[in-house]
Structure 1
Amino acid sequence: MVKIGSSLLVDGAGAVRREWLASVVGDIAARRAAGQEIIVVSSGAIALGARRLKLERGGRASLEDAQAAAAVGQVALSAVWEALLAGAGMTMAQVLLTLGDLEDRRRYLNVSATIDRLLALGAVPVLNENDTVATTEIRFGDNDRLAARAAQAAGARGVVLLSDVDGLYTANPARDPDARLVTVVEAVTPAIEAMADAGSGSGLGTGGMAAKLAAAKIAGAAGIHLAIADGRVMAPLTRFAETGRGTVFVAGEGAGRRKAWLAGRLTVVGTLTVDAGAEAALRRGKSLLAAGVVGVVGNFARGDVVAVAGPDGVIARGLAGYDAGDAGLICGLRNEAQAAVLGYAPRAAMVHCDHLVML
């Protein structure tokens, strides 16, 4: 999975950096010839559309401007990708995604199946957020996290975020001359997160280093390595392979695909708050029992994704075994007392360990 940001693909005048993009296509062709399958996440639709519509602030002055710019720009973006890939003997496939396509389990599986079939047919899937219909409440907000979530769906082994910086630094190198490049990150700890800068220096994109760390956590939950590499050079994938300069976030074994989907979700519909004893049991791999739940927030149904919060904050995510009403009735009760309150035999757990992932 390769993600390309707007600041790399589109110049300051709002035009495609076609020569640079052609060098990326050359990289893709070389990797495919070596036996790798490549999926692209390409930003740039809003920036390209804003130029054609003569919109201020790169089309990001308002949600309506961004949606209009995306509607125009996505056509232009796809045309450039299709022409360059075809010129290198490859077939481009466009896949536009919204947050709901990867948050809803059924739709997530549909996306997975579609990408798998496109790859089997030899196409190069080019993904982007469907900014024309996405709203503030139902959007990824940046393509770094979209790339990590789509990589989960595709069963990718690695994600490369091509950026206008060459990796994670100990501080913002534009402000601190003593900042040092961090080449390998074994875990995204609070100390690592403190190094991130949420700003987007170009003004064309969204997110920043904070979004890239969020993407690394999503990818890592699925056992997918993620790298940040300098995209400002020609043939950036070849350069990264030759020099290794950048930041690599090393993933562990990762959860199973269902649990990885849970861990990578960006939205939940409720929260179950638990006591310290229940938190300790969860960390030992146990299910969440109603007796350990001290609070229920949200309007969720059985099977919906909820957060589990301990005394110090959110610790897990899982599928609710009860709807919010029944969960509220039995929280704090031991198993033998629940039937009288519910009017039916209680289930084994509030959240079963098979449907729960620690964060």
Structure 2
Amino acid sequence: MKNKRKIIYLSVIIIFISLIVISGICSYELKLQKKDTFIIGMSQANLYEPWRIYMNKEIQEEAKKHSNIRVIFKDAGGDPEKQKKDIEDLINFGADLLIVSINDSKQLTSTVRKAYESIPVIVLDRTVSGYDYTLYIGADTKSIGEQAGELIAKLSNNNKVNVIEVQGILDSSTDKEITSGLREAISKYRNINIDRTIVANWQKNESEDKLEEILKDDRNVDIIFAHSDYMALGAYYAKVSTNSKNIKIIGVDGLEGPQDGIELVKNGILTGTFTCKTGGKEAVEYAIKILNKEDDIPKKILLECNEITQELLNN
């Protein structure tokens, strides 16, 4: 009887020790997994703009090159309140780093600041107030406005021209910088007049509808400069529907693909556009450096933007 009890006790002890060892191994493996596999949360402002779809695609393709990176995407659908919730959800899910392409800088500044208190944050495209983020990556949008002004001057051929400017969102940092660059550039030319500025919320249909109403009554418009190729395409449809044949249209983005900027310039639908990198690829590259705690991470990166016209494409 005593021998049986001893055997039972020994068996219980062996099982208990085995469980502790197995638990320790599992815990160690989970720690290794946590250490070696990083989760990146991507909060996107919307996915109705082709440029933002392309940004997500760049992030996804770059992340695929790294076996220890997993990206979780959220789409705010153009709603700042939804984007605030998306950011909170990504942090609660356990994201190690956040990439945010902001819908509304003013409304999202405090949310980004709060996120930055707990994890690294890379801000893409539109800036936030202050410096509560790890890294900002965006196109040199002021230079886009400056180059657009010079292109308009060239297209005017020293004749008096009336220009309609189509902004994405009223008072967004991107739009303000493009407009600032544009105004500075054309201030040197007395023959160029910004007739009016409209806001189309980065939507092709809204751009088309608003410009159609204007062009029905105003036959003195010579050039339309839209802050995205998507809105510029809407301007083209308004031009066609109102039979405004002599209007030249300029866009921004310069993406490659059907109905994207470069193709629109090639087909003569747009007179010109400007490359405007999304920063998606660069965001993942720097995210890995940040997660690996590398030194010398810059606070701000401005991506170069270049003019695209048929003349330049043919050279």
- Superposition TM-score, scaled by structure 1 size: 0.29
Higher relative contact order (CA 8 A, sep 6+): 2
- Superposition TM-score, scaled by structure 2 size: 0.33
